[in-house]
Chain A
Amino acid sequence: MIVYLVRRAGQSVLAVVAMAVLVFLGVYAIGNPVDVLINPEATQAQIAATTQRLGLDKPLWQQFGIFLGNAIHGDLGTSFVYGRPALDIILERLPATMELAVVALILSVGLGVPLGVWAGLRPHGLAGKTIMGGSILGFSLPNFWQGMLLILVFAVLLGWLPAGGRGQTTEFMGLEVSFLTLDGLSHLILPAINLALFKMSLIIRLARANTREVCLQDYVKFARAKGLSGRRVVMVHVLKNIMIPVVTIIGLELGSMVAFAIVTETVFAWPGMGKLLIDSINLLDRPVIVAYLMLTVLIIVTINFLVDVIYSLLDPRIRLSEMKG
């Protein structure tokens, strides 16, 4: 198990380094930030001075070297716009995005798995067909449109929930969170639903397909032949088997939820990392973009690593073969 963990961690580090190169090169290619930042009437000398101050006059490989060296010490550059460390700015926004993503994940798993299993157990019933029809809408309608429709119905027409912003936050274990106050919670519901809908549809379909497959297996029939209650057959024998693919998807999707909550955050004016990214791209605030991408890569790689560990706990067959390897 230790050998497996070490090897798996090595792969993760390699992935982060590869992404660092790609991110740096990719971002270097877009525009010249000096043009945006500086007064249009600035003289050539002023431009040159600014370029030198930001380190943009050095050759590319040197810039990358500096970037990598600093990154290892946790310094991902200073924002051109805010004049503060880029990582700090992003980390300030991280709790808002994390909160949104975690609530959305809980919603999508908490509703998606039971609905999917239900639809899988009764594929020809009315409920099963309705659930499947709903899931098709869930992932084929554009996310931003779903968001606007949610605002239109629940905020504008019914007036039940606020249309945007984060509402009141309280401190919880050192983080600013909004789910502990009624006002914060009411601001959280709509964006969380918006972010959850797509993933929930995905999980419903996955859970349904797997349930149908697992139900045909002899071990389910054998479990019934042992006289177990239908409840135990589904909750233990079926559920534990379908959770293996579901956990993979949850892992992959949690990363992408944190990283790409951009659309939802923009529609609902949620002050998270995604909104910061869009603002930074518009301003060509390169360090912030790079820091954002690096942080995202780190998050996704870490989650995937954790998923592989959970995986081996769920499926004894993986544990054994990997231990040998």
Chain B
Amino acid sequence: MSRLLEVRDLHTHFFTRDGVARAVDGVSLSVDRGEILGLVGESGSGKSVTGFSILGLVDPPGRVVSGQILFDGQDLVAGGEGALRHLRGKRIAMIFQDPMMTLNPVLRIDTQMIETVRAHVDVSRDEALRRSREALVAVGISSPDERLQSYPHQFSGGMRQRVAIAIAMLHKPDLIIADEPTTALDVTIQAQILSEVQTLCAEAGTALIWITHDLAVVSGLADRLAVMYAGRIIEEGPTSRIIAAPMHPYTRGLIESVPHGKRHGALLSQIKGMTPSLLKLPSGCKFRPRCPRADDACTPEPPLEAARPGHSVRCVHPHTESRIEVPTT
């Protein structure tokens, strides 16, 4: 069986006045049905742009320059806007980072849900309303009838994100792209939303791409991780392997910079320097200027190669030893 989503050598560039920002520069990744992929990286690593590229929602001056996005065998880049619109919301849904901003402030919840139902299936308003109500109940919203009549500003942040998730789940999509959906929420709400999304996706067999900068969140959730840096995937593999034995110095730095109970009192290690400007990327390995292991061998950029079965890394000097302690969520 072919994979649900296969992204091949995706390039999404932003054509700004100061030059071309290569936000996504040769990303390849794949997701199987029902699988949860964690897409991890710092701000500006291109993880969100990758998500938007899949749905064709990159705002100008950015656009997908080259590459293939195969969804269930169909190329979304070549298909154009018309084909994409029928997939959006129906087979691929998206959840955004800031629940305060994703619902239209001047439209009632029922309007925003019914239009989503009716954009894809030809049903009556009553039937659409019934499905919306069901979806709200499924994400744990009490008194859905009253809630449907409300406006977004009458909800708390966590509630709004639940509504957004309910909208995403309306058509039981094959894939949900979640762009840091818990970042703006309280920690307790975060945990609730996390477990709810997990349950819903498992029930409906929905695959998930969970975009985040927070390794702690994603390590308990994802089946596989892909770590991005400067528009590239620098390490990819099963979550347990990457958390336990990260091979790329950058991944290792990320994991070690998470506070952890067993190292209580010890200084947190940090990655020195900052992410490079996308307009002026260094030659060779993009992490080279910040990397403790860098030497002359890093000047030609290394390819993403399988170092162990199912675990690939883009590094000339990968860590092969030490198992480090796993930070728990």
Contacts and interface: CB of A to CB of B under 8 A. Distances in A.
B156 interface: no
Nearest to A217: B101
B93 A317 contact: no
Given A232-B115, A236-B107, A227 B102 contact: no
B168 to A, nearest CB: 8
B22 interface: no
Interface of B is mostly: mixed
Q: How large is the interface on A (under 10, 10 to 19, 20 to 34, 35 or more residues)?
A: 20 to 34
B105 A219 contact: yes
Interface residues of B, number: 31
Contacts of B125: none
Nearest to B108: A316
A87 B267 CA distance: 84
Contacts of B119: 226-229, 232
B90 A222 contact: no
Contacts of A244: 106
A224 interface: yes
B167 interface: yes
Contacts of B93: 225-226
Interface in B51-74: 55, 57, 59
Contact of B57 (A221, A236, A320): A221
Nearest to A228: B119
Interface stretch (B28-36, B80-88, B215-223, B280-288): B80-88
Nearest to A243: B106
A219 B103 contact: yes
A227 B89 contact: yes
A189 interface: no
Contact of B153 (A216, A218, A229, A316): A316
A222 B86 contact: no
A232 B97 CA distance: 23
Contact of A225 (B55, B86, B101, B153): B55
Given A224-B57, A226-B116, A315-B106, A218 B98 contact: yes
Contacts of A320: 151, 153-154
B193 to A, nearest CB: 17
Given A221-B57, A240-B107, A227 B151 contact: no
11 contacts: A216-B59, A222-B103, A224-B88, A227-B86, A227-B87, A229-B85, A240-B104, A244-B106, A316-B151, A316-B153, A320-B154
Interface of A: 216-219, 221-229, 232, 236-237, 240-241, 244, 314-317, 320
